[in-house]
Chains A and B, each alone.
Chain A
Amino acid sequence: MQQTITQKILSRAANRRFVEAGESVWLNVDVLLTHDVCGPPTFDIFKQEFGAGAKVWDPKKIVVLPDHYIFTANEHAHRNIDLLRQFAKEQQLEHYYDVGTERYRGVCHVALAEEGFNLPGTVLFGTDSHTCTSGAFGMFGSGIGNTDAAFILGTGKLWEKVPESMKFTFDGQMPEYLTAKDLILQILGDITTDGATYRAMEFDGEAVYSLPIEERMTLTNMAIEAGGMSGIIAADAITEAYVKARTSAPYEVFQSDLDAKYHSKYRYDVRKLEPVVAQPHSPDNRATVRSVQGTKITKSYIGSCTGGKLTDFVMAARILKGKQVAVTTNIVPATVKVARDLESTQFEGQSLRQIFLDAGCSIALPSCAACLGGPADTVGRSVDNDVVVSTTNRNFPGRMGSKHAGVYLASPLTAAASAITGKLTDPRDFL
């Protein structure tokens, strides 16, 4: 029987030769991810259901990356970090990345990649909807709630309905003004925020395979914004080189069979696409930047698991070099590694960090920060009637803080160009 890459990975995890779309199967989980917002309630449920003295199914397979509410004075947020620390100690979790220590990493989805936890062919669940990001490595990654995560903690297993797959093929060579963010916003405008509910979104084509792994992660990251269970890109030489540089753990590369069955197929020529934004208040509210150019903004925000990777900052620096921003511009590296790379990576003879500082941007410490609003003292949080252009992933009402604010989701090129003019601006004006 012909199978998609997702069917093959789930077959392996279910110890089956074949699984069919629509059937519910029990999966053996390779990695469980959690963070400071959902970790503590997950651990509570685990203890309640398995007993106060219960041990997790496999301490080596649990990755705890606090990242949401880190640099805040909020006492409840601090308590949540304490609860993570305490559980990690009790259960001897070696993959706990404690706040305030050298082990702190930052945004979990980016750190998972950096630390070598993303392995082709494996199954990773996480208590965060953007766990689908990991699918950029040719693996199955999906978000779950606390109860499901607690079930995995105790048993190493979870039921899942095998998804149908939708295929998105991008032909052609990427023009310099176009980014992965533009591609995924294009798709979202076409299929809407529930266009992929309960399905896997598979990406391929010349343009996708020309992208570095970080850009591929932007594509899979936003599968959830279409309701997708997962996003996936089969591993190639670029993926394998990235993985091998970070871990010696074994993995298996799967590909979809040529005549595997798909729910639907979409095909795009990237040379015909333009920079786009998602207008307030939905990620599918697409418009070309040209059609809304001139819209006044009050803030520009470059950060998050979607738009806070090194590649995002390289793009932003290309635009911001030698310019001045006209509005508050927050640079929020996803991880400590990305923050360090801002210093060591140069564009035209200057470090990215220096380019941003010279342009008048503020550089924040690595965490999820204002992508999801967060406690009142969070850096970059929207207030009142802010109009924000942001490289993040979600712009439903109130997402970045104030429910009266509007958020335009955009690529780092568009966010940087707009920061300079104080208005939505097509990056081609600066390239």
Chain B
Amino acid sequence: MSKKNKNAIDYNVDLIQVKNLKKYFNVGKGATLKAVDDVSFSIRKGETLGLVGESGCGKTTCGRTVLGLYSATGGEVLFEGVNIHGLNAQEKRDFTKHAQIIFQDPYASLDPRMTVGDIIAEGIDIHGIYKGQERTDRIYKLLELVGLNKEHASRFPHEFSGGQRQRIGIARALAVEPKFIVCDEPISALDVSIQAQVVNLLIELQEKFGLTYLFIAHDLSMVKHISDRVGVMYLGTMVELAESGELYENPLHPYTQALLSAIPIPDPELEKNRSRIMVEGEVPSPINPKPGCRFAARCKSAMPICSQEGPVLKEVKPKHFVACHLFND
């Protein structure tokens, strides 16, 4: 496709570098919830990094901490080489011009008492980018860009369907011409046919503006479709990271294998003939986690070392990273 234009992925430039990022929440009684625990990855310019995992694995917290919406407990997030967790208030404000977020729930993330035009222009107003007629023109242009029309600017969110609301959320994120957008489960709340529309829109916009995405979702087949690389999180840690084709064809971590085998395939013959790797039980609590590998208690290949020492994410094949003692030789 149009991968060879100027907006193609630049493999030499890391737009975002996350180094040993930690985000702990104090939940009282001396207990700590380790939502994100020592996670490192980088996102290249123009790339989409998918982040998958079950609810409560810390993927949303990770996305928000990368944007600086939460202050990090430890580690750093470098945006074009600058640690965003060391910025002062003014610099932080400027950073929000470059990094935006699309939220999961299109019903809860739009102010019901603001018109769509004002919602979209909020970032423009805060940064004082456009005023008066220019501002109005910009709103109209954004609405067109996401497949709505300018009559919609004076309406209120309740007049729109879920898919349309998500388009408004996308227009709002694009308003300040960001380089980087965190898409936090942007399609989970939508119907299948509408999901396809929104995903197509996101891909189209990426090609047009050279956007970089951190795409968070639990729909694994959609993540594979949109991402260049995919990271799998489990209970606050990154367990595997690889190019999306490689990860889905050749998953190495026992958790990734189980997760992928749980995806239902829309084909009755294939479904009948495949064997499923079931994980028993549920994700344990991230409050005061036990030492060692977080997945050890549910892992079929667990060894004694797994419950003593946490594995480190390392490259076991070119560009394929996994954190598992099975791959320590």
Partners in one complex: no
* B-binding residues in A (CB < 8 A): none
